[in-house]
Structure 1
Amino acid sequence: MPAAYAIAHLRESRPHPDVIEYLERIQATLDPFQGRFVIHGGRLEVIEGTWPGDVVLIGFPDAGRAREWYASPAYQEILPLRTNHIEGDVILVEGVGPDYDPVQRADALRAADPGYSAGG
């Protein structure tokens, strides 16, 4: 199974004591599911489009554990500490395995489109 990630795009973050408490408590909710921060509000350079806000990336061994973490009573208990003060979007997404080849993906997309013809 490929790794999975929780990705948050946090906009309009405002300092608040609840957010500090959330930060102090979140790792304990991740530990039982082997979740770890990969990116947590690091310096961001926009090279295409716009990106207002910060990004958080949390890695998990697989999608099942990512879903279990988000639904866990421990995480649900602290979630309002963040959501009441920071606007944002959160997604769970599966990664790709070590043997991923984008050429194979292109071939599959080409094969799925009966109207595709090379060159036009």
Structure 2
Amino acid sequence: MTAYVLGHLRPQPPLHDDVFTYMERIQATMDPFGGRFIVHGETPDVREGTWEGDLILLEFPDIDSARAWYDSPAYQEIKHLRADHIPGTIMLVDGCGPDHDSAAMAAGIRAAVAQQG
């Protein structure tokens, strides 16, 4: 199942030269794990709640590939180039798959809650 890496980054202009080096090198760290950018540095059109910063969304074939990329020596070598200069949060998450049914999910959660109550 497809997995994603979500980054909520809050860059402080002007960007440090290390950040540009990170941007130039990151794709090469993702390639061996089948990773690709879906969203890169876009500021979301916020409709509910608040958001400060940029959204980064990477896609990997599965969660094991995403974890292997993040933990890889190649990525760990460059991670500090971003992290030292841009605060943010990075998360790895499984996708829900093409057959996801939110109504069935709600029914299952509702049944579990009813059994507890």
Task: Give the TM-score taking structure 2 as reference length.
Answer: 0.94
Return the offset for 1:43.
4.2
Separation in 2 of the partners of 1:7 and 1:43?
13
Return the offset for 1:114.
2.2
Would you say the 8 A contact 1:35–1:61 is kept in 2?
A: yes
Q: Deviations over 1:2-26 (max 9, x none)?
A: 1100000001333011000000000
Gaps of 5+ in 1: none
Equivalences, count: 116
| Identical counterparts, % of pairs | 53
- The letter for the 2-side match of 1:103 is A
Would you say the 8 A contact 1:6–1:90 is kept in 2?
A: yes
Question: RMSD in angstroms over aligned alpha carbons?
Answer: 1.5
Alignment of 1:41-52 (within 5 A): 41-52=41-52
Which structure's residues are more often helix, by fraction?
Answer: 2
Task: Give the TM-score taking structure 1 as reference length.
Answer: 0.91
Separation in 1 of the partners of 2:113 and 2:49?
29
Going from structure 1 to structure 2, the CA distance change for 1:103 and 1:4 (only over 3 Å counts) comes to same
1:53 is matched with: 53
Gaps of 5+ in 2: none
1:92 is matched with: 92
